[in-house]
A and B are shown apart, each in its own frame.
Chain A
């Protein structure tokens, strides 16, 4: 009887003890090594203590299928802790991720660890930054939750070797999580959490491929996107939007087949464990009338084939270069560049030797920039940049057309005595850009008295001056709008006429005629 009672009491005691363990769901020390790690389960919170500066708590989790884990570790007052995640491959745990925000008392979170069938070990230990110390009063709580994997980054994807593969028309979800990557020892991006993606481009018929890349905005995060080639050279970097806003790369041209990489990261270690970003990638075949990035230099300038090209300013510093080879040399052409609302375009023209001819920034945001006409002797380069971007995509269209006129037209650039146009009876000129000054050279065999007649610029105001042989101003007249004035002047063999804008109008011309007296 006694023995029977004892047996029953022992069973009750053991049952009580076991049931207590399950309900408490707390660590069982010692668990300082991988071999005596505690088993944990998904969706079951476990509590534990970092009792001393040397305490390490190991937990292992068996995974039977592909899924995404979210790992949450509560803070310990006064302690900077971290989570080291290992994958146990062939009984050799490999460190795959370190979760450590380098702050005391704060929690640690990792939003999306990609796991496959196998065993993973989670080591709760002290962070690397602060002095290690125990806390026997405040426990930590470790909770691992799970969801199915579907079109998302495969963390850890912190380097090109572990980059998540994506393709055309893919929409991939990812997180700016964790805040830092202690395993990143790259001197340029040290500690930065970077999500790597890779995609493959096959070029056929030497026709470049244009890629569109769209990264959605995430609250509290200022994101940066870079694309690298297979030689790990950055070929484009986009950081045009602010915190909470997305980044876009449009019509970026790729001319060589190969594997390309995308880096998605946040600035200043900003993170968001709750809201994912979406990375969208699309390919398309290059159209000759579209910009082909990278075209940020003379060497990489796109050829304007059909007198028109559409492009986009990707970031405030983006500058797009184009080369125009005129079908008819030594002829006048008209150039215009119009953009979307909010885009303040700067159009610059360079000659064949890459000397800057003029910079046009006459209109404000949303306005188009126009060169009414200019002589193209050989090929010229255009560069398009912007002093302010549009709220959405900063697209523009650059168009060039031949300008026919029976009049004798000014030839830009003629902004100085050295580049003055030789005057012969009559000239029609334009104020081409802000502060444009036009010089005309007058030559006679001897001293000549002349009558100068000028019709001004409609809706504008100009000043016309005559000079001595050296270019010093003798006489000046101001002309309102398109009124006509005339005055006499004497030239001693040589002199200049200078036209300057007082109120600029870039649409209408002025006309100067000289009659010998």
Chain B
């Protein structure tokens, strides 16, 4: 038992040192435990020429919270964050790449997903995952799972 305890301590020490070494590297690790996840993609892109690079700006309770990963419209783009237990308004805003400008530009309101928001309830020790499926016609559908 005493030997087992020593081995356990050694493993813990190695793990801690190992983690520290990783922190010193240029590439850093993501920290935090998030309880809200959203993924967005366009479901009916069937022509590569129309499959633009884009991302979605995410507003939580009307405050800019961050953005999704960048990717093609047909690809799932992710965003996650930690929210307090409460009811929250999640709004998305689509930005697409203008290659001639070399930058992303916000899509006109008329071309934004409709609806571009969803209300979610965050409960303690629960994770909310939202999937937003958008279409060429501009309509969007939300599905939500709670774990």
Instruction: Kindly provide the distance from the CB of B93 to the nearest chain A CB, expressed in whole angstroms.
Output: 13
Q: How far is the CA of A490 from the CA of B55 in the complex (A)?
A: 12
User: Which residues does chain A contribute within 8 Å of B99, judged by CB atoms?
Assistant: 472
9-residue interface stretch from A75-83, A301-309, A438-446, A454-462: A438-446
The reply to whether B31 and A488 form a contact with Cβ atoms under 8 Å apart is no
B75 interface contact, C-beta 8 A: no
The reply to whether B70 and A492 form a contact with Cβ atoms under 8 Å apart is yes
Instruction: Pick the most buried of A446, A468, A476, A493: most chain B CB atoms within 10 A of its CB.
Output: A468
**Chain A residue with the shortest CB-CB distance to B69:** A492
User: Which residues does chain A contribute within 8 Å of B102, judged by CB atoms?
Assistant: 471-473
Given known pairs A472-B53, A473-B104, the reply for A449 and B27 (CB within 8 Å) is no
User: Which residues does chain A contribute within 8 Å of B2, judged by CB atoms?
Assistant: none
B30 interface contact, C-beta 8 A: yes
Instruction: Kindly provide the distance from the CB of A441 to the nearest chain B CB, expressed in whole angstroms.
Output: 9
How many residue pairs link A and B with beta carbons under 8 A? The number is: 53
User: Which residues does chain A contribute within 8 Å of B70, judged by CB atoms?
Assistant: 468-469, 472, 474, 492
The reply to whether B29 and A446 form a contact with Cβ atoms under 8 Å apart is yes
Q: B2-31 vs A: 1/0 string, CB under 8 Å?
A: 000000000000000000000001111111
Q: How far is the CA of A471 from the CA of B102 in the complex (A)?
A: 8
User: Which residues does chain B contribute within 8 Å of A448, judged by CB atoms?
Assistant: 28, 30
User: Which residues does chain A contribute within 8 Å of B55, judged by CB atoms?
Assistant: 468, 474
User: Which residues does chain B contribute within 8 Å of A474, judged by CB atoms?
Assistant: 55, 67, 70, 95, 103-104
Across the interface, B30 reaches (CB within 8 A) one of A443, A446, A472, A473, namely A446
The reply to whether B29 and A445 form a contact with Cβ atoms under 8 Å apart is yes
A256 interface contact, C-beta 8 A: no
Across the interface, B26 reaches (CB within 8 A) one of A424, A449, A471, namely A424
Q: B99-112 vs A: 1/0 string, CB under 8 Å?
A: 10011100000000
Q: How far is the CA of A449 from the CA of B58 in the complex (A)?
A: 13
The reply to whether A445 and B66 form a contact with Cβ atoms under 8 Å apart is no
Q: List residues 99-140 of chain B with CB under 8 A from any CB of chain A.
A: 99, 102-104
Q: List residues 425-446 of chain A with CB under 8 A from any CB of chain B.
A: 443-446
The reply to whether A490 and B30 form a contact with Cβ atoms under 8 Å apart is no
**Chain A residue with the shortest CB-CB distance to B27:** A445
Q: How far is the CA of A241 from the CA of B142 in the complex (A)?
A: 78
The reply to whether B97 and A472 form a contact with Cβ atoms under 8 Å apart is yes
Q: List residues 23-79 of chain B with CB under 8 A from any CB of chain A.
A: 25-31, 53, 55, 66-67, 69-70, 78
Chain B interface secondary structure, helix, strand, loop or mixed? Answer: loop
A516 interface contact, C-beta 8 A: yes
Instruction: Kindly provide the distance from the CB of B50 to the nearest chain A CB, expressed in whole angstroms.
Output: 18
The reply to whether A443 and B66 form a contact with Cβ atoms under 8 Å apart is no
Across the interface, B104 reaches (CB within 8 A) one of A443, A472, A488, namely A472
Q: How far is the CA of A448 from the CA of B28 in the complex (A)?
A: 8
Q: How far is the CA of A447 from the CA of B29 in the complex (A)?
A: 8
User: Which residues does chain A contribute within 8 Å of B66, judged by CB atoms?
Assistant: 449, 488, 490
User: Which residues does chain B contribute within 8 Å of A409, judged by CB atoms?
Assistant: none
Q: How far is the CA of A449 from the CA of B32 in the complex (A)?
A: 11
**Chain A residue with the shortest CB-CB distance to B77:** A492
Q: List residues 38-78 of chain A with CB under 8 A from any CB of chain B.
A: none
A422 interface contact, C-beta 8 A: yes
**Chain B residue with the shortest CB-CB distance to A495:** B70
**Chain A residue with the shortest CB-CB distance to B25:** A445
User: Which residues does chain B contribute within 8 Å of A473, judged by CB atoms?
Assistant: 102-104
Instruction: Kindly provide the distance from the CB of A423 to the nearest chain B CB, expressed in whole angstroms.
Output: 9
User: Which residues does chain B contribute within 8 Å of A488, judged by CB atoms?
Assistant: 66
Q: How far is the CA of A424 from the CA of B25 in the complex (A)?
A: 10
Instruction: Kindly provide the distance from the CB of B81 to the nearest chain A CB, expressed in whole angstroms.
Output: 8
Given known pairs A424-B26, A474-B55, A474-B67, the reply for A516 and B31 (CB within 8 Å) is yes
User: Which residues does chain B contribute within 8 Å of A465, judged by CB atoms?
Assistant: 103
User: Which residues does chain A contribute within 8 Å of B103, judged by CB atoms?
Assistant: 465, 472-474, 476
User: Which residues does chain B contribute within 8 Å of A490, judged by CB atoms?
Assistant: 66-67
User: Which residues does chain B contribute within 8 Å of A472, judged by CB atoms?
Assistant: 53, 70, 97, 99, 102-104
Q: How far is the CA of A188 from the CA of B119 in the complex (A)?
A: 88
**Chain A residue with the shortest CB-CB distance to B31:** A516
Q: How far is the CA of A372 from the CA of B70 in the complex (A)?
A: 37
User: Which residues does chain B contribute within 8 Å of A470, judged by CB atoms?
Assistant: 53
Q: A199-211 vs B: 1/0 string, CB under 8 Å?
A: 0000000000000
**Chain B residue with the shortest CB-CB distance to A445:** B27
Instruction: Kindly provide the distance from the CB of B37 to the nearest chain A CB, expressed in whole angstroms.
Output: 12
User: Which residues does chain B contribute within 8 Å of A471, judged by CB atoms?
Assistant: 102
Q: How far is the CA of A465 from the CA of B101 in the complex (A)?
A: 13
Instruction: Kindly provide the distance from the CB of B55 to the nearest chain A CB, expressed in whole angstroms.
Output: 7
Q: How far is the CA of A474 from the CA of B56 in the complex (A)?
A: 11
User: Which residues does chain B contribute within 8 Å of A516, judged by CB atoms?
Assistant: 28, 31
Q: How far is the CA of A424 from the CA of B27 in the complex (A)?
A: 10
Q: List residues 330-388 of chain A with CB under 8 A from any CB of chain B.
A: none
Q: How far is the CA of A470 from the CA of B97 in the complex (A)?
A: 11
**Other A-B pairs, 14, CB within 8 Å; known A474-B70, A492-B69, A492-B70:** A443-B26, A445-B30, A449-B66, A468-B55, A468-B70, A471-B102, A472-B70, A472-B97, A472-B102, A474-B55, A474-B103, A488-B66, A493-B27, A516-B31
Q: Would you give 8 A-B contacts (Cβ < 8 Å), ordered by A?
A: A445-B27, A446-B29, A448-B28, A472-B103, A473-B103, A474-B95, A488-B66, A492-B69
4 tightest A-B contacts by CB? A473-B103, A445-B27, A468-B70, A446-B30
